[in-house]
Structure formats: C-alpha cells, structure tokens
Amino acid sequence: MSFEFRRRSYALNVAALGFCLAASPAFAIDWSKASGKDIALFYPGQASWEWVLTEKDHSGAPKFRGGKNCVDCHEGEQKEMGERIVTGKKLEPAPIPGKRGSVTMNVKAAYDAANLYLRLQWPDQNLKIKPEGKDQAKVTVLLDDGAVPEATRAGCWGVCHDDANGMASHPAGQDIKKYLAKSRIKITRQGGGLNYKTDAEIAALAASGHYLEYWQAHLNSGKPATATAGHILKAREATTPGAVKANAELQNGVWTVVLSRPLKAAGPYEKAIAPGKTYAIGFAIHDSFADGRHHYVSFGYSLALDDKTAAVPALKQ
C-alpha cells in the first residue's frame, strides 16, 4: 500500500488525531486549514559539505560554487540518489540490508499568537536489525533566519563535515559531531577537525546570529514523545530545556508528529520567528533505532509566516 494512499485513507481522522495529540489548548490546531508539502528525504551516506564543494567527487560543485543551491539542480532526484547510495553504489562503504533509500514526509505549518507549529507525517520503517540508538525513531528540524548561508543553500549538509563521526575522514578516537565551518580556523577537504576559533570569536559569531537551531523529537511507539532543543555552531549542543514541545502517534504505520516552539526568542541561541521574514528549514529522520549518519535528510527549503510563496507557509489560526 502506497504512503499516499495510506495518508489519504486516514485523512478523515486527521482532525480528530490533531486533538488527540493536543496536550494543551496550544496544540489545538485545525490542520485541515494548513496546506501540506511533500518533502523527499534521502539517505546521504558519507556525502559531506566538503564533498559537495569538490568537483572531482561531485560534478555539480562548480554550479554550487557559482550560486546554484542543491535543491535547484536535484529536486525530484532524491529517490534515485538515495537508492544509489543506500545500496552501496557510491558514498556508502557498509550498506544496511533492507534499508530504504528515501522517505517522503508531509509537512504542514501554522501559528497562533504565541507559537509556531509543525506537523510532520511519514511512513515508518521498522527493520529487524541491531539497534544503534535508544529511540525507535527521531525527527529533527534545522532552522535559520538567513544568518547561515549554508542552511539556505544546502540544508542539512551545512553542518555535516567529512571528519564527523562515521564519515570518510573521521579521525580515530575523536568525537566530532555537527558544526558550522566558521567555527573552525580552517576547513580542508577533510573538514575542520577540532581546530576551533577562540572562545571570543565563537561568542562573536553567536552574537551575530551565526548558528542554527535544531529541534528533535524522540519517538517510541506507545510512549509519550520527548523533545530536545539546541543549536549548532562549534558543535551540536542542547540549549534551552523545554523550548520545544512534541506530541506524536504511530497509527496505521504512519508517524504523525507535532512540534511547537514559541515565536519569541526566550533564551540564548534562539531565533525570533515573525511575519515578514523568510527562514531556511531542513529535516532529518532516523528510523529503525538508527543513530548518527544512518538517517534521511532533506535539502534546504523556505518557511515563512503568512507567505504562501514559501515552500512551507505557516498561516495564522
């Protein structure tokens, strides 16, 4: 049964499900009033920011360096690319048997006087393999307000470097997670390593807004979802506990997750969300107890309040 058919088959239950997911009146959004966008996420293997920029590895590098964004050239190719990578034809030295190459996620957004809401739906896959992580599934949102060009241009690749854990140039014995290139003294084809800029320079970058927010929902069937809110600059770090709320349900093989976050920036490393501004947004999914780089990622898309020209428009309710 296709995901599209399953999604339509229980569309009559969406309004009821929206209220089932409501832990408080703040979550009582009428999702039938929000337009949805299907976004393809695909398995990236060991493709990194540095790989994207290197012509001998990535034939599109000159176009990217010339100003083309990933989505400009590759929208519609995600399924094919993911299948080539997940099966080990390129960029994956250790294919996982049975792992799908891509997944389509339906994204809806809305806001009220206090909060932004995202509703994310995608078909679950539950491979019977040795678990890597503690969560059955995770879904992650990256958000930027224009301060980090990599987020707009490449989505999740803006924080994925060749020396990160599990990647091709990862140095043994070092724990390197997501980071932004400007936090390093120098970036080579292998990444920036642990060669951080000074604390004062990092603080100045943060003060200028050069960081990404990340929101992550941790999902386990039959248990309440939990949320993590953090930022990525020098590394991926938790920021403000409780800044993001998550509710979720797995029904008929489809995850439905609602994330909410206050419009106002209530703490450090938070970006205000307001009408009249366009935000870069990207998504990632871990399923089947996957962890690290064994996930699905999206290109960068646009989100805006009350702007129907955005890829993901959030209209007020």
pLDDT at 171: 98
pLDDT at 130: 86
User: Which CATH number applies to 3-316?
Assistant: 2.60.40.1190
243: buried, middle or exposed (CB in 10 Å: 19+, 13-18, 0-12)?
buried
pLDDT at 77: 98
pLDDT at 1: 44
Please give the full DSSP string across 142-176, using - where no structure is assigned.
Answer: EEE-SS-HHHHHHGGGGG--TTSTTSTTPPTT---
Cβ proximity of 39 and 107 under 8 Å: yes
Task: List the beta strands (DSSP E) in the chain.
Answer: 37-42, 102-111, 115-123, 137-144, 212-219, 226-232, 236-238, 245-251, 254-262, 278-286, 296-297, 301-305, 312-316
Q: Which two tokens stand for residue 72?
A: 């400009």
pLDDT at 11: 42
pLDDT at 18: 45
pLDDT tens digits, the chain, 317 residues: what are they?
A: 444 434 444 343 444 444 444 434 446 899 999 999 999 999 999 999 999 999 999 999 999 999 999 999 999 999 999 999 999 999 999 999 999 999 999 999 999 999 999 999 999 999 988 889 999 999 999 999 999 999 999 999 999 999 999 999 999 999 999 999 999 999 999 999 999 999 999 999 999 999 999 999 999 999 999 999 999 999 999 988 789 999 999 999 999 999 999 999 988 899 999 999 999 999 999 999 999 999 999 999 999 999 999 999 999 99
d(CA 154, CA 71): 8
Q: Helices H, strands E: what count in the chain?
A: 8, 13
pLDDT at 5: 37
d(CA 134, CA 145): 31
pTM given for the model:
0.91
d(CA 268, CA 74): 35
pLDDT at 14: 41
d(CA 89, CA 95): 9
Cβ proximity of 271 and 289 under 8 Å: no
pLDDT at 30: 97
pLDDT at 267: 86
